[in-house]
A and B are shown apart, each in its own frame.
Chain A
Amino acid sequence: MTLPNASKYWGAESWIMKWDWGETFMLEFIYLMMNEWMDGLWPIVVSIHLLALIFAFAGKYLRISHLVVFLTTVWLYHRLTLYIIGGNLLVIALLFYLIFANERKSDQFSTKLNSLILLAIKVQVCFVYFFSGLWKLAGDQWLKGEAMHYILNIPEYSHPFVIEYIANSKIVTVPATFIALAYQLLFPFLIWFRIFKKPLLIVGVLFHLIIGLAMGIWDFALIMIASYTAFMFGD
């Protein structure tokens, strides 16, 4: 989704301002693409990123390809640092765990290590839901059932059709508010029980597809759906 406007994000004439983040070596490394000398190099970084993705999907040189995908993702996202959203941050976290995985090896050590990485990914997804729910409990609108009404009435997070026909219908928005809140709070606890897993994942896929379609926050929606694959393996 960023590639057609890539030069506006990462090019020499980027619409997004650069500033100095380099207080430490680590920060300089993470914000590498904030440097002037990187302006002309974004096509190379993007190409390396895509190439590493191809290798990763093909199962070739997994450790290195996972590491390269992680690093290039961090560099590209952190050039757009004010615009990083939850979906982008979740990608970074999941890619970080994947650096240590190598599903092609089947010796006992690798199998146990891969199981640990899978567990870390599951815990990370549970963190997302748990804290999304917890933060909402600190406010009034979610507990009063009014939150969805306000969110869906804002064009940025809605769709003209939704604003016209759904956003002001309390029969829809009040239950939707409580369902979303309950789902986020219950998911981290119920997903570990086999009996709840399938229904939770199905509801979750629908929930995130609606977020993608109605709100247009596709990055987050697709990443969350992709992360569900972790719960389909390694019982």
Chain B
Amino acid sequence: MNKSQKNSLLIIKIILALHFILLFLFCLPDGLVNQEMRAFSNAYANPLFQGRWNLFAPEPPRQHKSLIYRYSKTDNRSEWIDLTHGVKEKHDAVRIGASTKMYHVLQNGSHYLWEFYFQHDTQRDSIKLRNMQHLLFEKIRNEAGAYPDEVEMALLLESSPDFHDGSIKSDTLFFNAFSHE
């Protein structure tokens, strides 16, 4: 290797070391890194390296969220429909394929809507609500052939059985009806 190649390798090693130091700071839980470092590492890691690898952590999810909706067009109102109806059945039958991806996308949307319900104070949270409204309008247009006049939606929550006594809690969160923009 000539001198310039050795220098190039040294520079790449330094860049890689800095890269992983910043990712390390970015991934650390809050409280283990000061605010200045957090802001700096956030600016570096978002959006390309935004993985914090905290799926099911610090606590695992403890309730299932099912979104149901109904829509009205002219004077007709549909029955309540499960958002994942048809997709979940295929997902359960074949664990790898288009339905599995779609099922997780729809369920993620329901999860984000649940997050919005409890913490709708930032622009990103309002996107979670508007995204689900958009998804429902497009899904209904795709399946019914036209946009509905109005849509109502609700989240059905059902907890996993309690580890100790097996009890299950359920709840329903209702959202305001909305119309197409």
Contact = CB atoms under 8 A, between A and B. Distances in A.
Contacts of A132: 53-55, 57
A81 interface: yes
A1 B12 contact: no
23 contacts: A1-B97, A1-B98, A81-B47, A82-B128, A85-B55, A96-B48, A109-B8, A116-B9, A116-B12, A120-B19, A123-B20, A131-B53, A131-B54, A135-B53, A139-B57, A144-B163, A153-B160, A153-B161, A156-B103, A157-B61, A159-B95, A216-B103, A218-B95
B33 to A, nearest CB: 12
A16 B57 contact: no
Q: Is chain A's binding surface mostly helix, strand, loop or mixed?
A: helix
Given A83-B105, A116-B16, A135 B64 contact: no
Interface stretch (B70-78, B136-144, B172-180): B136-144
Nearest to A88: B51
Interface in A138-170: 138-142, 144, 146-151, 153-157, 159-160, 167-168, 170
A160 to B, nearest CB: 6
A148 to B, nearest CB: 8
B145 interface: no
Interface of A: 1-5, 8-9, 13-17, 19, 27, 30, 74, 78, 80-86, 89-90, 92-93, 96, 100, 108-109, 112-113, 116, 120, 123, 127-129, 131-132, 134-142, 144, 146-151, 153-157, 159-160, 167-168, 170, 212-213, 216-219
Q: Is chain B's binding surface mostly helix, strand, loop or mixed?
A: helix
Interface string B1-31: 1000100110011001001100110011100
Contacts of B169: none
Given A140-B59, A154-B61, A156-B64, A92 B24 contact: no
B57 A5 contact: no
A127 B50 CA distance: 13
Nearest to B91: A216
B96 to A, nearest CB: 5
A127 B107 contact: no
A4 B127 contact: no
A1 B61 CA distance: 25
Contacts of A84: 50
Nearest to B168: A153
Interface in B132-181: 134-135, 138-139, 141-142, 160-161, 163, 166
B9 to A, nearest CB: 6
Given A15-B138, A116-B16, A146-B163, A216 B56 contact: no
Given A17-B134, A74-B48, A109 B57 contact: no
Interface string B38-59: 0000000001111111111111
B100 A216 contact: yes
- With most chain A CB atoms within 10 A of its CB, the pick from B5, B128, B131, B163 is B163
Given A13-B142, A15-B134, A154 B63 contact: yes
Contacts of A108: 1, 5
Given A17-B127, A17-B131, A150-B61, A78 B47 contact: yes
B53 A1 contact: no
Contact of A149 (B92, B128, B139, B160): B160
Nearest to A220: B55
Contact of B138 (A13, A89, A154): A13
Nearest to A161: B92
